[in-house]
Every structure is written in structure tokens, then in C-alpha cells.
Structure 1
């Protein structure tokens, strides 16, 4: 936070508003006419970095410099001392007040010598309870009774965590009373207008739910709150303490730029033109506003407000530049934006430059933001009302055009219905003829399918029975040790391999034919999934497969026969392509979404990239598999079986890392 304040002071130093003058300023003469008099040009200023100087020490301290205008020291943690020499003309009123234009100064002290040569202290400011102020006003006002033709020297000590910019004005008491009444009338009219705007747009938004009106309502609320707290109206009315008003003002300013950024993008129609850019601008502004608000709530008011103001200035430049560019391209909302928002932005920039001590405080710079915001709100309200009226007219025109189009469409539809009715009657006649032909063709197809199913059953019986006999004989031979052991075991191994290969081949063909001919062959039933997987893995020689099974459901509703075919095909595919010296890895488990995954992996050459999209096509065999046994049905059958179960099979790894992996995923 200290760094931000230091940057502020450095920025102020780079743009000095005045050079110190060698000669002391002339004393301020209160005229006989009784007109208000500004102390600008008659002040000398001293910075008290420690904040511990008393009036005598400050008066004797070196470093006083003449101010050519009002006080404008930016954001500073120093206490600022002002020295003013005052003389009242004989014919002028004897009761005066000194008024400070900045309504949110924290600590203001006025020291004057009395007749005995002692300092008389008057004190006010946000840090002082309002009941202890000399005069109940929205800004600091000290009453004075002055002797004629008697020079007086005043010392004023200022300290505030907010912008140190203020103008001192001396007024006769009567003139101050009249000015106060006019001022409260002006502010009453201004905030009364704001209240009417807010009430109007509350009802307007509740009736229309129009986004622009809703954001404008927030826009007016945040800006009106900021203005009211800046001129200390709520602080005076509700005797609001400083520990409450300062956070409210800082947070209100932060909310103003966040809401203002969103409202500005809507007025330029940026969400429709550049949606991503619009979200980025609004998001960054909201983040800066949140940072500023948190700093204010943490107690670093000056740093938080600087973050908000340093965000607001680039944002103003961005929106003005973007609106100018869109206006040159003929974007109509940009023209209205430049006019309506330009007035408000000008007031904000002038107010900011005043806070940074680049321009001197006066009536126009003190009220630039307030006047600009008020004019801006009025024009913006008129624009929104006009926009809604245009939308209503466009909606009425669209409804009228829609009614006319519907009427014409109904007439065309009636004609088309009449023509279509005739055509349908003719089509019904033709379809009656086709129905007879289709019935005859269906009977032929039914007979053909029955004959095909009989043939499949016969083939299944004729092949499976010999294979079972071969398998049994191989087991008997293996148990018969009368023959030479090595030869008998070799023959047994050959018989088992041949029977297994023939069984797998028959299963492939039969499964393909079965799934192509009828969907009724899919018969899911409760099945012990771990037992099924264990049985399939047991068909392979010991050591050929490394299995890792984790948390499989004990029971799953699947077609066990089809799932067995799918698992065999995955393992056979891996066995054909994996080196014999390396094991095939099988990993089974449950995914986070509840599906079962069985992954089969093997070491092997990477799959060609051009063949990967065709791996699951029927009868497709890649270049690597051309010299190995197979019919090109394995992966196709796995995919069809997975689809029947509502699952999928994917190529998890194409071998670029040395491992080829297929994963079967099934819902259970």
C-alpha cells in the first residue's frame, strides 16, 4: 500500500501545479461589500511528514511555500499546514465563516491567536463526532468573529487519507446561510431526480425484465451513492461515523467501475460483436474493483481508491477509443455512446486530475464529476426509453408481419393439403399393391432365414463335437505316460492349440452371422463377471497373460456368450502381435462413472496412422497382420458386442510408446 501512495506522490511531483514563490503572499482583505472571498493565492503551505508538529513548531519550521491557488496535494499521509494572514475592512461584517470545499476531509484544525496571544483551536472533520462540529454542515465550516483593521494570522492543519484537495472560502454568516439554502435546494433537486430515475427504472425493469434497464438501475444506484457520500450528505443527515462512511464510499466507488464496465459494454453492444473481449474487459474490471474494495475494507483507503481510479482511467480511454473506431465503421450505438458517456468521462477525468493535484480545485473541478454524472444519467435515461420504444415498435411491426405471413401460409397450406390428399389416395392404392408384394417377399425371406439358421446350427454341432473330442483326447494322452513323455506332451499341446484355434474361428464366424441376422440373439442375463474373466484367461498357457483385476462387480447383466467371444478376440489379437517372450497384460476394474473397463495390452510395432480409422471394419487386416492367421473379424466382433451392451471399445494406445492397448468399456 505504501508503494501505491509513493507512486501517487511521484506522479504528483512529475506534474507540479506550482513552483514555490520566494515572496510571502499578500494578506487576505475581507471587503466592505461582504462578498465571499477565496483564500486561493493568499496561502502558504508546509508539509509535516511526522504529523507531530504543534502550531508554534509549525510556524517556526522551514519549508513554507506559497500556493498560487487552492490546496491540491493529492493522496498523502503527511499533515498539511496552511498559513493565512487576514485583515477585515472596517465596514465589512464582523461575523464570518471559513468553509472548506472538500466535504470528506478527516481532520481539520484552525488555530487563531486570541487577545492574550494564545492559540484558540477550532476542530472538525470526519474523525470528529458531528455533534462536536462548530457548525452543522455537510463540509467543515468554522464560525469567526473578526475585529476591524486588525491583522490576524491563522494556521490550518489538514490530515486525510482521502485526496488532499480543498479550497478555503470566507463568507459573511448571512451569505453562508443563503448559500447553504441554495446548495441544499440544488442537491435536493439533483438527488430527487436520481430518486425518480431509480423508482421509474425499478418499475420499468419489473415490467419488462429488460437487461439494459436492470444494469442501468444498478448503474444509477452505485453512482448516486458515490456522489452522495462524496459530498457528505448521508454523513450529515445520519451523523454517520468515519469508520462507516469511508468503507461505504470506497466500496461504492469500486462497485461503480465494475457495474459501469458491464453497462458500457451493453451500450456498445460488445457482447454481440466481440463476446470474448467483452468478457475479458468486464472480468478484469471486476477483479480490480474487488481488489480496491478489499483494500478499503482492510483500512488502506488511499491505496484502494488509487487502484479503482487507476483502473477507471485506462477503461475510459479503452471505451472512448473503441467507440470512436466503431463509430467510424458506422456502428450506430457508438455515436450515442461517445456523446452520452463522453460527458460523464470528462467529469471523472477532471475530478481525478484534481485529486492527483494536477488541476487546481475550484467550483467546476470540485463538481465536475457530479455535474457530468447528472447530465449523463438524464441523457442515458432518455436513450433507454427511446430504445425501449423502438423495440416495442419493432415488435409490433414484427407481430403484424407474422400475422400476415401466417395468414398467407394458411392459405397456401390449404391448397397444398387438397393436392396432397389426392396424391395420398393415389399413393394408398399403390401401397396396397406393394403390400401384397412385400408379404410374398417376406415369406420368402423368412424361409431363407430359417434355412440359414438350420445350417448354422448344423455347422455348430458338426464342428464343436469333434473339437470337444480332440480336446478330451489331448487331456487323456497327456495323462498317459506309457508313451514317450516328450512326444506325447508335444502332441497334446498341438491338439489343444488346434482345437482352440478352430473353436475361436468358429465362434468368430458364428457370432458375426448371428449378430448380422437377428438382434434377438442378444440375451443379457445376470453373470458372475470375475468368474467369466477368470475362465477366459485360464484358456491361455501359464505365463502368457499377466492379469490385474480390481473391484469388478460380482454380478453384471451381460450376454455371457457374446462377452466371452469379445474377450477371446481381444486376447487372440494381442497374442498374434505380441512377442512370445513377453506377456500380454490384462487390467480390469471399475471407472469413476461406474462402467467396467477391461484393457488388453501387448508390446509390438506401432500401428500405421492410416490404418487406425479402419481397425474395427469388417474383414479389414492391416499390413502387420497380413502374414498371421485370422479372418479380420476379431475387432469388428468386439465392437459389435460392445455396442449391443451399450458400451464401446477404443484404441487406448497405438504403440507409439511401445505398447498397443485396446480397452473394452461396458455399463453394468
Structure 2
């Protein structure tokens, strides 16, 4: 019985070996017609890895099926360091259109397409980092080749690929001319928008850093520039538009710039979160990681091996974890009111960066997310972080702004003071006389200010004056001016041209808004305003005379008077 079992096992193993020795079925020729403008090569082509990397298309053609072709499957990765990957497929065009073979990823070292011409000679096309993009058969971000013109018979194609340090896993497809042009126009539009946004934010951030001496914006501008250059190299935009003839740099940029952008991201995060406030050990660890990333990039540039690039990718993955740790630490222990907005800005990049990092470590095949995930995340991140940094910067500069404004504003309410109002009124009167138009001046008194102070204290009285300032600002336009004259007396200048109806409406808004309850004041307190208003110029008054005229009218209004608005000359 044991003998029979052993014999059965041997028979089963020999059957498996025999099945594996059988050549794969040859895919039928790909039918190209206008009804199907894009045809992927997955499952429609065979592949073979030339371990020596020296086989010629003639030798590959002559060997036929004896060299061990295998069916190319979707999402398959190929380790071809020091080797060459050959793909073989047959295609027949059924119309007079032009068809193109596109490799879906940039940064490929070398790609060559071979097919026999009608005369029997080889037609050779070459693209990749070893050749300037302007010299490619069809210049663009990714290697693209034109297929043979329709001849009424299938044409056999051989695609040879060299690619080191990262497994080759690019999608490969055949496109009609219309489909290819539409796809390229769409991607150029989207990438142009992304890089335009990045350039705008970098320029404005640099301006903020220079004008306000804000190191957060300086670090952010550095990060945005480094990230954008890294994306330009990774997506092939740099080779296409920025460094077309710099072949050596083009081969290095795909590996160097993403690592530098990782170091810039860590520096920016450290600058924004200031981890030294919570843990010196964490701060030193971040510094050490930045130096480690830069050192790994330098070593990888010199050694140019799969192991050194994997080290850069591993440190990049660690950098993503550290960025998350820094933001989380400040969120948990800090009192920064904008940290949640900053964390929201980091989130898209932290999530989307995992895909290209995993691809660099050969953990997943190439896909839309590995190619464009970081670009999408950065496009979402940049405006959010810029807005958050602007809010934070404005808060930090608020004391300086208020100090600088003391020369022309009231320190309690932030409104213009009496001198500023008089200067603006002089200009408004001169302009009204010259252009034969009218402006309006309103004198406003908080009639119950003394009662508020007497019942609730000086602090409540000061808050009432601040709320009054907010009421006046809400009742006027940006070109008008609200000012505090003295004590509980204010003024509003409607520079014009204006009318009696507009001036009256403004006065009514002020009185009505004062009667609304404010959370800054005790629950039972409302603001009772009295307003005297006049259309100017009048009676040859200058600014001082006009202000004195309204002040006298306002002083004549009794506190218990029911009529809260007194027009003087209409």
C-alpha cells in the first residue's frame, strides 16, 4: 500500500513538472480598431527576462518559443537589476488611424521597441532616462512609441526594458491617437494646475517670511519647493520641461529629490510643532532623522544600489510616522488653537505618501495611487497649511500690529481716534466741495454707559465700549470710518457720496443693534445709543467746526429722551 502511495505521489509531481514545462498559450493578435481606443497588454503579451541583458531582437526572434516565454499578468513585478525584460505581442490595426504604445510610468532607465518593417529591416525606437526627452520618438512624461502603420496583417513587436533599483511594474497599453492626445491634454491641465498652485504658495510664503520675518513660512516655502521638485522628477515633468539635456541629473533626480523633500518635510514639521517644548529627546530624534535621511540620500547617490534606495524609502516611511507623532504630541499637550487645522493639512499627504513609499519598497505594484497619490495629497495639503500658518502668524503679530496702530487708533476699542477722524474729515470736506457732493457725519453717544459702570463696575463699562465699537463697524462700509472721540462718545463718517436716507438708515441700524443682547455683557444689559447726524459740508464749517456742532447737539439730548436720532440739517 505504501508503494502505491509513493508511486501516486511521484506520478502527481511528474504531472506538475510536465505541465510547467509546457509553453504558455500564445495570445492571439490584438485587434486595434476605433471602437476600443485603449488596450492594455496584460494577458495579451508574453515576457522573458534576459539574465545577461545582451540579447538582440534578432536573437530573440530567432529563438522563438524556446527561450521560455511566460504570459504577462496584471500587477506583476519584475526584478531586472542588471538584466533586461522582453515583452512580445502581436497587433493588427483594422483602420487607417495611428496607434501608440505607452509605458505608464516615468523614470524608466531604458525602453526600446522593435518590429520588422515591410522591407525586412528592424524599426527601432528608444526612450527613457538614458536619452533626452526631446529625442524620444514621441516626447512626453513617459516613454511612448508609435506602432506600425496598418498593413492588413498582424505585426510582431518586441519591447525591451532596462530598469534598476526598483522592480518594474508599470502598466503598458496601446492607445489610439485621439485617446492618447486627450489623455495627455487632461494630465497636462491637472499637473499644470498643481505646479501652478505650488509655485504661487511658495512665492507668497517666501514673501511672508521676508516681510514678517516668519520662520514658519520660510520652512514651509522650503518644504513646498522641495516637494514640488521631487514630484516633478517622479512624474517626469522635470525631464520633460526643466532638465531635458541633463541626462546624468535626470537619472539621479528621481532618487535624490524625493529624499530631500522628506528631510524638508521633517524640518518644516519640527519648526511648526516645536517639539523641544515638550521633549528634548523627541527634538533630538527628529534632528537625527533629518541627518540620517540626507546621509542615506548621499550614500544612495554614490552607491546607486537597490539596498541603499530601500534604506532611503525605509527612512521616509519612518519620517511619516515621526510627522504624525509630532502633530499628535502638540495636539495632546499643547495649547495651539490652530493645531487641528495644521493636522488636517498634514493628513492627506501622510495617507497618500504611503502608496509611493510602498511602491519604492516593492511592496505593491504600480497604480494610479502610487503615481499620483502624493500629488493629490499635496494639492489638498498646501492651501490648508498656508491658511493655518496665516492664522497663526496673524495671531503672533497681533500685539505688534496693535502697538504700531496706537499712533492713529484708540487703544481700548481699536477705532480711529479723534485726530484721525479730523484728518479724514478734512479730506472728505475738500473732496465734497470740489466734486459738489455730500458726506454725512454721525455723533454717537452710549447714553447708559454711566449706569452700566455704576451697577456692574468699570470692567463691564469697558466691555460696553468695545461692543459699541463692534456695533459701529458692523453698520458701515469699508470706505467709511468709525472713531472714538472721548469717553462714551463716538463718531461715524460716511465719506460719500451719500444721501440723507443712507445716513438715517445707518443711524437706525446703530440704535437697533445696540438693543440686541451681547454675550460679552451681563444678561440684563443693552446699549442705548443717541445719534446726532448732519449732511456736510454745511455753513462753511471746517472739520473742527462740524465736529463741535454735532457734539453740542448730542450734549443737548437728555438721557431719558425717547427720540434717539436727531437730524440737524434735514
Query: Which interval holds the TM-score relative to the shorter structure?
Result: 0.5 to 0.7
Structure 2 SS opposite 1:103: coil
User: Is 1:254 matched up with 2:259?
Assistant: yes
Taking a change above 3 Å as real, the CA distance of residues 40 and 374 of structure 1, as seen in their structure-2 partners, is farther
Unpaired segments of 5 or more residues in structure 2? Answer: 1-21, 413-570
User: Is 1:272 matched up with 2:277?
Assistant: yes
Structure 1 SS opposite 2:91: strand
Give 1 or 2 for the bigger CA radius of gyration.
1
Q: CA deviation at 1:166?
A: 1.7
8 Å Cα contact 1:250/1:305 also seen in 2 = yes
- 1:108 counterpart (103, 107, 111): 111
- 1:42 counterpart (41, 44, 61): 44
8 Å Cα contact 2:87/2:158 also seen in 1 = yes
Give 1:67-466 correspondences, 5 Å limit.
67-70=72-75, 72-73=77-78, 76-88=81-93, 90=94, 92-116=95-119, 118-147=121-150, 150-161=153-164, 163=166, 164-237=168-241, 238-296=243-301, 298=302, 300=304, 302-321=306-325, 323-324=327-328, 327=331, 335-393=340-398
8 Å Cα contact 1:165/1:355 also seen in 2 = no
Q: CA deviation at 1:398?
A: 9.1
8 Å Cα contact 1:69/1:360 also seen in 2 = no
Taking a change above 3 Å as real, the CA distance of residues 293 and 43 of structure 1, as seen in their structure-2 partners, is farther
Q: CA deviation at 1:396?
A: 5.7
Q: Name the residue aligned to 1:665.
A: none
**TM-score normalised by L of structure 1:** 0.52
Q: CA deviation at 1:204?
A: 0.6
Taking a change above 3 Å as real, the CA distance of residues 77 and 370 of structure 1, as seen in their structure-2 partners, is farther
Higher deviation after alignment, 319-328 or 187-196: 319-328
8 Å Cα contact 1:94/1:145 also seen in 2 = no
8 Å Cα contact 1:97/1:143 also seen in 2 = yes
Q: CA deviation at 1:83?
A: 2.1
Distance 2:405 2:120 in 1: 88
Distance 2:402 2:382 in 1: 30
Taking a change above 3 Å as real, the CA distance of residues 106 and 41 of structure 1, as seen in their structure-2 partners, is same
User: What root-mean-square deviation, in Å, do the aligned CA atoms of Structure 1 and Structure 2 show?
Assistant: 3.2
Q: CA deviation at 1:228?
A: 1.1
Unpaired segments of 5 or more residues in structure 1? Answer: 1-19, 405-668
Taking a change above 3 Å as real, the CA distance of residues 162 and 358 of structure 1, as seen in their structure-2 partners, is same
Q: CA deviation at 1:113?
A: 2.8
Deviations 1:473-495 (A, max 9, x none): xxxxxxxxxxxxxxxxxxxxxxx
Q: CA deviation at 1:376?
A: 1.8
Q: CA deviation at 1:218?
A: 0.7
Q: CA deviation at 1:206?
A: 0.3
Give the aligned length. 382
- 1:64 counterpart (66, 69, 75): 69
Deviations 1:270-313 (A, max 9, x none): 132213321222223323322322431x2516454333211011
Deviations 1:193-238 (A, max 9, x none): 1111111111110011111111111101111111112222232234
8 Å Cα contact 1:82/1:156 also seen in 2 = yes
Distance 2:82 2:377 in 1: 30
Taking a change above 3 Å as real, the CA distance of residues 112 and 218 of structure 1, as seen in their structure-2 partners, is same
Q: CA deviation at 1:32?
A: 2.8
Higher deviation after alignment, 143-152 or 205-214: 143-152
8 Å Cα contact 2:99/2:176 also seen in 1 = yes
8 Å Cα contact 1:94/1:148 also seen in 2 = no
Taking a change above 3 Å as real, the CA distance of residues 331 and 390 of structure 1, as seen in their structure-2 partners, is closer
